Amino acid sequence: MSFQPARIVITGIGLTAPNGNSLSEFRQNLLAGVAGVEPFDVRYMGRLIAGVCHYDPLRYQTRKGLRVGTRAGSISIYCAHEALKDSGLAFDGMPKDRVGIYLGCTEHGNVETENEIYAISKFNYDTKYWSHYHNPRTVANNPAGEISLALGITGPAYTIGAACAAGNLGLIHAAQMLRLGEVDFAFCGGVSESIHTFGIFAGFKSQGALATHADPKKASRPFDKGRNGIVVSEGGCIYTLERLDDALARGAKIYGEIAGYCVNSDASDYVLPNPGRQAECVRKALVNAKLAAADIHIVNTHATATPQGDIQECEAIRAVFGQGCPETNINNTKSYIGHCMGAAGALELAGNLPSFDDLIVHPTINVDDLDPLCAIDGLVLNQPRKVAKVDAILNNSFGMLGINSTLIVKRFAA
């Protein structure tokens, strides 16, 4: 008899995106075509555009907590509280050493380091003016650690560095830890404070991969012929995951079930994607989920609106879903919120989960002139699509150094 891993379900969601601070607000704006990109001042670079979150940080933090912690920590605390509330769990009665926190991050620490270098530049670079908060703010586990402090969680709390694939990895890792019995309840997902570092903007600009557009809300336009790069965004999305038996025992609301996943590596380039490995990642996730390509009803693409990257992902998707998948719909969420980096995968999945209930697929917006090289079957463009069935959602998130992740969530059925 083969080993049957525990079934893992999503029971709570807390998020902040550039166009919404709750799942319902986010979803409403995805269906209404409302983008959340706006003008944003960046140190040394002037006025650019970015996806900025407008959650209320004082809802769950003191002003001192905000001053001492990081932006990523604050976003994480907000999302964790919202997810916990949404889960309906009686947290006071929960043994806190059986709770885990697993957050994906693209990077962490650049914001504080840049701030401190700027601050000591006002003192002739004398390092005696360097903040004593620098190390606790820049350690890679900071966002997860700030949640553990805020909620009194004494189980494992750490981040997973996985470039822009990180949001998916937070969920995947949490599912694995629940299956191993390491924890009984997990906060997981991804977070990003990237817009507060000039380095990421300057880096993408030097790569020729930073989006520009006279209208910020049109700037993120995957699959459009006129796309010219990435809109950098901040954000966070944290899920609560539980083993199915535990969720059923407490009568929890279930958003969906983790069906399968895959993480692999291109091993081919620092920044250029590898469609062959991406397709392999998707195929392995399908095998892991015991599903065929035709069983997937929504594919949320990673596409970031770089000229080459979108074409290569479309090549990978065409290879897997190009034949015999008439009910597979393909969309993109970055067209609304830009690229939320470590939060991207987690946020984009959340935006699609309500489709299990409303049977509507939100579109890729800002496609005025579809690039023929991105014209894959099933693309949902500019207008939401009502569909007959949504039983499985496949979420792609890829990142630099060739890390690929695919996560499949299916409709929960007892």
Partner 1 sequence: MTKDACKQIVLDIIADIAPDEDLSNLKPDVRLRDQMQLDSMDFLDIVMELRKQHGIEVPEADYIHLASLDSCADYLTPKFEALGK
Binding residues for partner 1, rule: CB under 8 A, are 62-64, 67-68, 123, 128-129, 131-133
Does an H or E element contain 408, and which? strand 403-410
For residue 62, what are the contacts with CB-CB under 8 A and spacing of at least 6? Answer: none
CB 153 to partner 1: min, Å: 20
Decide if 164 is catalytic: yes
Question: How far is it, in rounded angstroms, from Cα 341 to Cα 15?
Answer: 14
Query: How near is the Cβ of 62 to partner 1 at its closest, in Å?
Result: 5
Residue closer to partner 1 (CB basis): 138 or 176: 138
61 vs 240, which CB is nearer to partner 1?
Answer: 61
To the nearest whole angstrom, how small is the minimum distance from the Cβ of residue 122 to partner 1? Answer: 9
Of 81, 173, 213, 339, catalytic: 339
Mode of pairing for the β-strands spanning 385-386 and 360-361: antiparallel
Nearest Cα to Cα of residue 402 among 276, 299, 283, 308:
276
Burial 160-177 (b: 16+ CB within 10 A, else e): bbbbbbbbbbbbbbbbbb
> Among residues 53, 79, 105, 164, which one is catalytic?
164
Phi and psi torsions of 405, nearest 5°? -140, 140
- Which pair of tokens denotes residue 281? 């990642």
Determine the distance from the C-alpha atom of residue 231 to the mean position of all C-alpha atoms in its chain, rounded to a whole number: 14
Closer of 128 and 386 to partner 1 (Cβ): 128
User: Token digits for 263?
Assistant: 């993480």
Nearer to partner 1, 120 or 319 (CB): 120
Distance of closest approach, residue 80 Cβ to partner 1, in angstroms: 21
Task: For partner 1, give the closer residue by CB, 66 or 254.
Answer: 66
DSSP 132-200: TTHHHHHSTTHHHHHHHHHHT--S-EEEEE-GGGHHHHHHHHHHHHHHHTS-SEEEEEEEE-GGG-HHH
Out of 196, 297, 302, 362, which one is annotated catalytic? 302
CB of 132 to partner 1, least distance (A): 5
b/e per residue 389-407 (b: at least 16 CB within 10 A)? ebbbbbbbbbbbebbbbbb
Task: In angstroms, give the least distance from the CB of 113 to partner 1.
Answer: 17
Retrieve residue 361's tokens.
């697929």
Beta-ladder partners of 185: 99
Among residues 47 and 64, whose Cβ is nearest to partner 1? 64
> Residues with catalytic annotation?
164, 302, 339
